[in-house]
Every structure is written in structure tokens, then in C-alpha cells.
């Protein structure tokens, strides 16, 4: 099969969608399929800035959300043109990764399957990009529904998204949880000291790692808020963030207010290969997701990567995290936004590293058995084949 994976967002970029596309591509190619990726990044930079990014910035100044809608529609038109230019490659199917791309793909006449990664409208509201109930938010919701009703098959990355699609559009989807490349993300703790020296981290420090985009729904302020309590028990603790986003300034404010400058490192967005090395050098990985404006974490790729990498995990008991982590069996779950519980869980793993290793070993086994990119690719293949018979 000749498959085109397409998205109106940038690719590659630091984030779960980009990771999903890369990993799915590898899995499908292992099954013998030919896979290409087209994204907004394939549009020439001057065109992106002139028609989408520049006007969007200006229009958002006029009214919140207006520029977002503009940008998404321009991305749709540009991507549709790009797909049409590549029609000579004779793709059997397009797997669209967002609602606007689904609409673009449908207009090209190529059979289209859609993957739903999140709640597009609610996420825009959660980030503060538009107001709930505004004409812009209502328009985005209409786009979601049109895309769900128009595509040949829908895949969601967790069960709750499947229920959401059914609720808003009446369309039945298939839930296939996110997955990771189990050959890329594997235990590498033997190189712990080597990686620490590489990144200038004291070999004796207790390292907490947050591999998260710095956005509200990812709960990234809570590790910083819990750190003062952790430092009372383990003064040699370093909290490291790998990610960028609108919550960066809030974290910086917490760090300044609590005097944590020597104990918190904000790396910004880092390459995926670098993230793998930080998993190996860390004592505990934190995925502190929260509910935000109706948005909750899907099957977190960051959590799966941590579990696959043999790193002890503490996560909040929300959304898909409750589905993939069994409390005290292969990780620790804490109540969302509960700073005290988060600090207690971190301290417990730092006090008892043998417990962390036991949890991490069981987590790796779970990832191999249930979250392999090879097994997921076979499920996608089945859906593609069925969609082509419609």
C-alpha cells in the first residue's frame, strides 16, 4: 500500500503528534508499506509567513481566536494544494492527523482515514487562544464534526476520544492507544553517568525529569510547586524540564518566588534523541497532567517513552494515564494538582530506589507486550484495508 500521512501542523516538531507520525511510519514500513509524510513544514517558509502566520498574529490582536481560525483555514488550503501536486505518486490512502487536514484530503478525492489526537476546540480554549462559546470556538467545533462525518474511518488514541467523537458527531471510531518504537526507547541506565557528564549534571544529584510541552493541560507548574517539599528530604535534587510553551513564564515565576534557581533547569524544546538520554540519566520521570477546559491527557507518549526506557514514573490519575499506569505495579499515580501527593510520591521513589526499579522493570514488560509500534501498525493496516473497501 502507498500511504500518505498528512498534517496541517509542523513536522517534525517537539510534540506528541510528530512523535506519533514518525513511529507509525516506521511501523507501517516494517510491514512493507510505502509511507510519505506531508505537513505545513513542506510549504515554503515565505508562503507560510505571508499567508498564515503573519495575518494570524495581526487578526488575533483584533479579536482573540480570529487569527487562529484564519491560520487553520490557510493551512488547509495550502496543504490541499500540496497534496494535489503530489497526486502523481498515486497514493492509495491518506491518513489525516487533524480535522482541517481531513477536510483538505477529502477535497482531493483520495480515500481518507483520520486519526484524532485530541479535542481541537477545547485545546484552543485551554491554551487561551480563543474564548469558550465564541463564534471562533463554535466554528472550530463545526470543522471537527464535518471532518468526523466525512472521513471513511476514524482512529482515536484513547477510549475517551472515541466517546467524544461519538457524542459530537454520532460517528463510531476505533480506539488504538498511542505506542512507541520499542527499539528506540529501551532501558539505557548503564550509560547514566556518561550522559550526566555529557550534559554537565552532577553524578550525585537526584534528577527529576519532565518531558512535556509547557502548556496548561500538561500540569507542568506542579513539579516546581512540589520541589520545595522534595528539597527538604533530598536537598541535592535537580528538576529538569524539556519542552517549550506558554506556561514557561509561570514556571519561571514559581522558581523565582521560591528561590529555586539552582535546582530547576528549563532546557526548552530538545531533539527526541536527546530526550532518550535524559530518561536514562534521571531518577524519576514526571507526567503531571491535569484537566483543563474540558481537555485531558490522552495516552501520553511521554509516559509510554518513560516506561519503555526503564525510568520510574509518577503521573497524575487523569485521562489515558489511568489506562496505561497501574498504581504501585508499574508506576505511581497521584491526584491531579495535588502538590503534597506529588511531593510524597517523588520522595518515596528517591528514598527507595529499589521500588522505582521494580516498577520500571514491570513497566518495560508492559510496553513490549501492549504498546509496541509494530503491533499498532498492524491494527492501522487493518483499518486502512477496510476503509478502501467502502
pLDDT (0 to 100) of residue 298: 66
Q: What is the pLDDT of residues 261-302, one digit of tens each?
A: 999 999 999 988 899 999 999 999 999 999 876 667 767 899
Q: What is the pLDDT of residues 51-110, one digit of tens each?
A: 898 999 899 989 999 999 999 999 999 999 999 999 999 999 999 999 999 999 999 999
d(CA 73, CA 94): 19
Q: What is the pLDDT of residues 109-125, one digit of tens each?
A: 999 999 999 999 988 99
Is residue 266 packed enough to be buried (19+ CB in 10 Å), middle (13-18) or exposed (0-12)?
middle
Q: What is the pLDDT of residues 224-250, one digit of tens each?
A: 999 999 999 999 999 999 999 999 999
pTM here is 0.78
φ and ψ of 267, to 5 deg? -75, -20
Whether 250 contacts 52, CB under 8 Å: no
pLDDT (0 to 100) of residue 293: 67
d(CA 66, CA 7): 21
Is residue 211 packed enough to be buried (19+ CB in 10 Å), middle (13-18) or exposed (0-12)?
buried
Q: What is the pLDDT of residues 151-203, one digit of tens each?
A: 999 999 988 899 999 999 999 999 998 899 998 899 999 999 999 999 999 99
Distance of CA 174 to the CA centre of its chain: 19
- DSSP assignment letter at 200: T
β-pairing, 112-116 with 93-96? parallel
Q: Do domains 2-179+372-387 and 189-370 have the same CATH topology?
A: yes
C-alpha cell at 325: 499506569
Region 2-179+372-387: CATH code: 3.40.50.2000
d(CA 176, CA 298): 11
Per DSSP, the chain holds a count of helices (H) and strands (E) of: 17, 12
Residue 141 makes CB contacts below 8 A (sequence gap 6+) with 121, 168
Region 189-370: CATH code: 3.40.50.2000
Structural domain boundaries in the chain: 2-179+372-387, 189-370
Of 117-131, 162-176, 303-317, 356-370, which gets the smallest average pLDDT? 117-131
The number of beta carbons lying within 10 Å of the beta carbon of residue 271 is 11
pLDDT (0 to 100) of residue 348: 98
Does the pLDDT value for residue 126 go beyond 90? no
The number of beta carbons lying within 10 Å of the beta carbon of residue 168 is 15
Task: Give CA separation, 138 vs 110, 160, 200, in Å.
Answer: 28, 21, 49
C-alpha cell at 373: 509500534
Question: Higher-confidence residue: 215 or 222?
Answer: 222
Locate all alpha helices (DSSP H) within 309-389, ordered by sequence: 321-324, 339-351, 353-370, 373-387
Taking residues 8-25, report their average pLDDT.
Answer: 88
d(CA 301, CA 178): 6
% of the chain surpassing 90 pLDDT: 86
Taking residues 305-319, report their average pLDDT.
Answer: 95
φ and ψ of 120, to 5 deg? -55, -50
d(CA 325, CA 368): 14
How big is the CA angle at 272 (ends 363 and 53), to the nearest 5 degrees?
Answer: 130
Distance of CA 177 to the CA centre of its chain: 12
Amino acid at each position: 500500500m502507498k500511504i500518505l500521512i498528512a498534517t496541517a501542523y509542523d513536522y517534525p516538531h517537539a510534540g506528541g503528534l510528530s512523535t506519533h507520525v514518525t513511529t507509525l511510519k516506521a511501523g507501517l514500513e516494517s510491514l512493507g508499506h510505502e509511507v510519505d509524510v506531508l505537513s505545513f513544514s513542506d510549504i515554503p517558509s515565505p508562503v507560510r509567513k505571508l499567508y498564515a502566520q503573519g495575518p494570524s498574529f495581526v487578526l488575533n490582536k483584533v479579536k482573540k481566536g480570529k487569527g487562529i481560525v484564519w491560520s487553520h483555514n490557510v493551512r488547509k488550503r495550502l496543504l490541499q494544494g500540496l497534496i494535489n501536486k503530489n497526486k502523481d505518486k498515486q497514493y492509495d490512502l491518506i491518513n489525516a492527523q487533524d480535522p482541517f487536514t481531513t477536510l483538505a484530503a477529502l477535497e482531493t478525492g483520495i480515500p481518507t482515514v483520520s486519526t484524532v489526537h485530541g479535542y481541537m476546540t477545547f485545546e484552543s480554549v485551554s491554551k487561551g487562544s480563543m474564548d469558550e462559546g465564541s463564534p471562533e470556538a463554535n466554528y472550530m467545533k463545526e470543522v471537527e464534526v464535518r471532518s468526523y462525518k466525512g472521513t471513511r474511518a476514524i482512529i482515536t488514541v484513547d477510549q475517551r476520544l472515541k466517546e467524544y467523537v461519538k457524542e459530537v458527531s454520532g460517528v463510531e471510531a476505533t480506539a488504538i492507544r498511542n505506542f512507541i518504537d520499542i527499539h528506540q526507547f529501551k532501558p539505557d541506565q548503564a550509560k547514566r553517568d556518561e550522559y550526566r557528564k555529557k550534559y554537565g549534571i552532577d553524578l550525585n544529584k537526584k534528577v527529576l525529569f519532565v518531558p512535556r510541552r509547557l502548556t496548561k493541560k500538561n500540569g507542568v507548574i506542579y513539579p516546581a510547586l512540589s520541589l520545595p517539599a522534595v528539597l527538604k528530604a533530598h536537598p541535592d535534587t535537580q528538576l529538569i524540564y524539556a519542552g517549550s510553551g506558554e506556561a514557561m513564564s509561570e514556571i519561571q515565576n514559581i522558581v523565582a518566588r521560591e528561590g529555586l534557581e539552582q535546582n530547576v533547569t528549563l532546557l526548552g524544546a530538545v531533539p527526541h534523541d536527546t530526550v532518550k538520554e535524559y530518561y536514562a540519566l534521571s531518577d524519576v520521570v514526571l507526567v503531571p497532567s491535569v484537566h483543563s477546559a474540558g481537555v485531558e491527557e490522552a495516552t501520553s507518549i511521554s509516559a509510554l517513552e518513560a516506561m519503555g526506557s526503564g525510568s520510574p514514573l509518577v503521573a497524575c490519575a487523569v485521562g489515558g494515564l489511568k489506562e496505561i499506569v497501574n498504581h504501585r505495579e508499574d508506576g505511581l499515580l497521584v491526584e491531579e494538582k495535588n502538590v503534597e501527593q506529588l511531593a510524597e510520591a517523588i520522595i518515596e521513589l528517591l528514598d527507595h530506589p529499589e521500588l522505582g526499579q521494580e516498577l520500571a522493570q514491570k513497566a518495560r514488560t508492559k510496553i513490549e507486550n501492549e504498546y509496541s509500534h509494530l503491533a499498532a501498525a498492524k491494527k492501522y493496516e487493518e483499518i486502512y484495508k477496510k476503509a478502501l473497501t467502502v
